[in-house]
Amino acid sequence: MKKKMKNNTWQLSKTSFLPISYRGIKQYSLVAIAFLLSGCGNKEMSELRQYTETTLAKPGRPVEPLPPIKPFVRYLYNAEKEGLRDPFEPFFFGISGGESSEALEDNGQDRYAQEILTHNKEELEYFELDSLRMVGTLEESGKLWGIIRDQDGLIYKISNGNYMGRNFGKVETIKEGEIRLREIIQGPNGKWAERAAKLSLEE
């Protein structure tokens, strides 16, 4: 009889106290965490509200007035009246596409100007001549071509009559070791003149 009562007492304590030990502690923990979080949130909102009110209570700075607008002064360029060259004219001695080359002096200048104005600009004319490299030659159907590499590593094939460089360099001869060109340059006196140039095979 005593043994049976002891077993019943153990079962009663097991069913009565286990739920309090686990479920109750879990609920109390959740309530405590929620309380702490709400306390932190209220504190932060209070600080933010106080900062906003303090900032809005400060007196605003006066806006500085805009600087006065200076009146535009028109300038008339009178170089033509003084016998000077008009900088807005093309540098080919004032010749545009629709004007005649008869305005040039008859000393060969018309030939240079017409070549500059009429020839179709080629790809290698966008590079400085010293930035181009001759890397070889290629013979096709008895014709010798020059192989050129630009500063970006692109390869071009040229022949006699093609143009290279920014000084209207026209290819005149191609040999296995070099390419010879004739450039057209403008001297200090404004006159056009020819200049020889060449590219040697890169070793």
> Tens digits of per-residue pLDDT, 59-106?
877 888 888 888 877 766 666 666 666 666 655 544 444 444 444 455
pLDDT at residue 30 in the model: 61
Which residues are registered as beta bridge partners of 180?
173, 198
In a domain, 56, yes or no: no
In a domain, 84, yes or no: no
- Structural domain for 23, as ranges: 1-40
- Domain closes at, from 99, 119, 139: 119
Could you give the strand order of the β-sheet that contains 155-158, starting from the edge strand earlier in sequence? 133-140, 143-149, 155-158
Amino acid at 187: G
Same domain, 104 and 130: no
Q: Report pTM.
A: 0.47
Please tell me whether residue 183 adopts helix, strand or coil conformation: strand
Same domain, 19 and 34: yes
In a domain, 62, yes or no: no
pLDDT at residue 4 in the model: 47
